[in-house]
Amino acid sequence: MPTLLPGSVDTAGQRATLGVLGGGQLGRMFVHAAQRLGYFTAVLEPDAKSPAGLVSHHHIQTAYDDLAGLAELARLCQAVTTEFENVPAQALQTLAQTRPVAPSAAVVGIAQNRIEEKAHFAACADVSGVTCAPYAVLETPADLQAVLDERADLLPGILKTARMGYDGKGQVRVKTTAELAAAWAELAGVACVLEKMLPLTAECSVLVARGWDGQVVSFAPQRNVHIDGILAVTHAYAGNMPSALAERARAAAVSIAQHLGYVGVLCVEFFVVEDGSEHGGLVVNEMAPRPHNSGHYTIDACDASQFDLQVHAMAGLPLPQPRQHSPAIMLNLLGDVWFGADGQRQEPDWLGVLRLPGTHLHLYGKEQARPGRKMGHLTITGPDVASVKTVARRAAELLGLPGLDSI
């Protein structure tokens, strides 16, 4: 990847342009970061009113696998990324024939399939020092029978579809062999992974950025709180988890990115398990080949955000080691905030929230609020952890957010 300088124009008069497949909020924040550096942007997204499409220089309104749309994206851009992992891998392969594409179709394909993802984690465990929870693959009735007969040690567990599972979707908790058989039937017998439930004490994630030249930088781990499988609160400050575990998670995430030959921003999610376990207190859960919800705090609390680093990586620019200048807590804003206890629509108390010191509101430009839909986030920064927690609790109270007991 030759370096694509900010604001540059080639001999044919074409401005330096970065492309993104997907028009959601991650694409929108990538577009904002790219434009701030002087790049033009192009978004390929079928939704006419998508968050990213509305703010980009170019919006190619086609399906992700539309060949004419992909050709137009390649014509406009010097490099292309994706804002979500469920984009068709074939679309990335098509673009890669004429343009640098990162992450690659092969890497995205691994992240799209839990079976391949866990095999990758196992393959690099010796280097990363962290492995995943014990699991079994269920693709055929014979696989199910083998688990029923021989792997009772995996119960209680979580049955997860191999594909298209996110934010708690495609997951069923099972305690007995009978529940396992019934759950697999309920999921229509699709390829699944049965993962042993471990005694968790926390969840965390690590953001890594890797360039075309192999340069790697990373953020300190952030501790995450999920409710009903959806991220609710992110704690990003020194001491949010034991320092030894934090360093292990950070090193493991870098090793995973290196093992993949990854380019761009990668998020690796971990479970923190009870001390004294065979896993050494840490297991890897999954990875997202893109910027991540848990890293949104970096926009307001760091001198370079995860989206800045994604732009740098895509354009072949140097990757600065990011520095966090303020402790932060990020509160995820779902569509539920727009509805009262009686189910009637209401306007959130933005005036009350924005009176609080250190609040940074980000709304994604989505027209319709629905329960469970990610509509925005609120990051609270301050001079110290205590003041950040105090403001975060008050903001959560004003908005009626869950997870207060975790702040």
Binding site annotation covers 237?
no
Amino acid at 211: G
Binding site annotation covers 247?
no
Q: In whole angstroms, what is the distance from residue 126 CA to residue 124 CA?
A: 6
Picking from 57, 3, 14, the residue whose alpha carbon sits closest to that of residue 312 is 3
Question: DSSP letter at 372?
Answer: T
Q: In whole angstroms, what is the distance from residue 222 CA to residue 12 CA?
A: 44
Binding site annotation covers 226?
yes
Q: How many angstroms from the chain centroid is the CA of residue 15?
A: 29
For 25, left (φ over 0), alpha (ψ -120 to 50), or beta? Answer: alpha
Please name the helix (run of DSSP H) or strand (run of DSSP E) that holds residue 142, with its range, or none. Answer: helix 141-150
Binding site annotation covers 286?
yes
Binding site annotation covers 7?
no
Beta bridge mates, 359: 380
Binding site annotation covers 198?
yes
Please name the helix (run of DSSP H) or strand (run of DSSP E) that holds residue 260, with its range, or none. Answer: helix 243-260
Binding site annotation covers 167?
yes
Binding site annotation covers 366?
no
Q: In what order do the strands lie in the sheet with 79-82?
A: 58-60, 40-44, 17-21, 79-82
Q: In whole angstroms, what is the distance from residue 245 CA to residue 82 CA?
A: 30
Per the CB < 8 A criterion, the answer to whether 8 and 67 are in contact is: no
Binding site annotation covers 285?
yes
Binding site annotation covers 179?
no
Phi and psi for 299 in degrees, rounded to 5?
A: -60, -40
Residues annotated as binding site for ATP? 114, 160, 165-171, 195-198, 203, 226, 285-286
Residues annotated as binding site? 114, 160, 165-171, 195-198, 203, 226, 285-286
